[in-house]
């Protein structure tokens, strides 16, 4: 791991770790898996660096949104096959997967919007890493596959938690059992992909979407995201308690108080999705 890895990138600057490039640009953290010679497979150094960057971005108030992408026309081919070929005990294999869940929940529940920009293959763990994002933008050459069954494995990297919540249980079983490949348009129709773009426009589209959140309340988005992520396994009463708690915190925030005052003073809203959308369309 790079010696400068604990240091934070200044806004507008970039640094390269061993397997990942990181940039903080205009309040958007851009994390690029950067092992194109290995199709950005998730080897041990990449897992360690992802864990480090997730913690760093989570705590960096300058980062208001996150983009996760891959270099070389590939998002992520999944697990590193060389590493999978190494001999290890069942206990060691268990730890190898369990260690992913030390940092993965911090990505899934990151209290700022996370956008996966998927170009080319997102297979196995690569697909599930994309599913950890709030929105997946795909190029028209993107491919998604729960490839695990082809080599006698089950989905990891929280795939069996995340996938059914997007597509439903029956469709998730179909994708896991068959190991078939989804093209970007079919993945969009299933609700996996938010939008499809030409490859040379993908990162710009992801950046434009990320920037649209930069004037939003990080507190409100963070609380809403974490509560929504729990909505499938909590009952209505528990959700109501979380809702009341979150709303009380938001009502006491400086952001909310300023937003209300701006409304009363007939000033433009701090965060106006429709206005930003019209501005982008006219650009």
Reference 54, options 109, 136, 12, 10; nearest CA is 109
For 55-112, how does the pLDDT look when each residue is reduced to its tens digit (9 = 90+)? Answer: 999 999 999 999 999 999 999 999 877 766 677 789 988 898 899 999 999 999 999 9
What 3-state DSSP class applies to 162? helix
| Residues 41, 62 within the same domain | yes
| Residue 7 domain flag | no
Res. 6: pLDDT tops 70:
no
| Residues 265, 198 within the same domain | no
Contacts of 191 (CB under 8 A, 6+ apart): 166, 167
From CA 267, how far away is CA 139, in angstroms rounded? 38
Res. 2: pLDDT tops 50:
no
- Note down the domain range covering 259: 218-282
Rounded mean pLDDT, 21-49: 96
Question: Cβ distance 271 to 265 under 8 Å?
Answer: no
The secondary structure element, H or E, covering residue 159 is helix 159-167
From CA 218, how far away is CA 5, in angstroms rounded? 25
Domain boundary among 211, 229, 253: 211
For 193-238, how does the pLDDT look when each residue is reduced to its tens digit (9 = 90+)? Answer: 999 999 999 999 999 999 999 999 999 999 999 999 999 999 999 9
From CA 45, how far away is CA 242, in angstroms rounded? 37
């Amino acid at each position: 791991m790079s010696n400068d890895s604990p240091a934070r990138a200044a806004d507008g600057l970039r640094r390269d770790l061993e397997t990942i490039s990181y940039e903080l640009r205009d309040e958007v953290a851009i994390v690029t898996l950067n092992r194109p010679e290995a199709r950005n497979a998730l080897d041990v150094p990449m897992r360690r660096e992802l864990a480090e960057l997730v913690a760093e971005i989570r705590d960096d108030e300058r980062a208001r949104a996150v983009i996760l992408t891959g270099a070389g026309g590939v998002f992520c081919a999944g697990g590193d096959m060389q590493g999978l070929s190494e001999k290890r005990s069942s206990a060691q294999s268990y730890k190898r997967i369990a260690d992913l869940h030390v940092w993965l929940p911090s990505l899934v529940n990151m209290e700022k919007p996370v956008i996966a920009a998927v170009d080319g293959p997102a297979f196995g763990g690569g697909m599930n890493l994309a599913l950890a994002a709030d929105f997946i933008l795909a190029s028209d050459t993107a491919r998604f596959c729960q490839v695990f069954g082809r080599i006698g494995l089950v989905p990891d990297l929280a795939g069996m938690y995340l996938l059914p919540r997007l597509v439903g249980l029956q469709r998730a079983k179909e994708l896991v059992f068959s190991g078939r490949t989804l093209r970007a348009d079919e993945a969009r129709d299933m609700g996996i992909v938010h939008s499809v773009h030409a490859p040379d426009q993908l990162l710009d589209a992801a950046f434009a979407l990320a920037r649209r959140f930069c004037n939003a309340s990080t507190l409100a988005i963070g609380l809403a995201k974490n509560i929504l992520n729990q909505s499938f396994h909590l009952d209505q009463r528990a959700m109501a308690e979380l809702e009341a708690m979150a709303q009380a915190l938001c009502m006491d925030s400086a952001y909310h108080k300023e937003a209300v005052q701006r409304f009363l003073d007939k000033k433009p809203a701090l965060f106006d999705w429709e206005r930003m959308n019209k501005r982008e369309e006219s650009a």
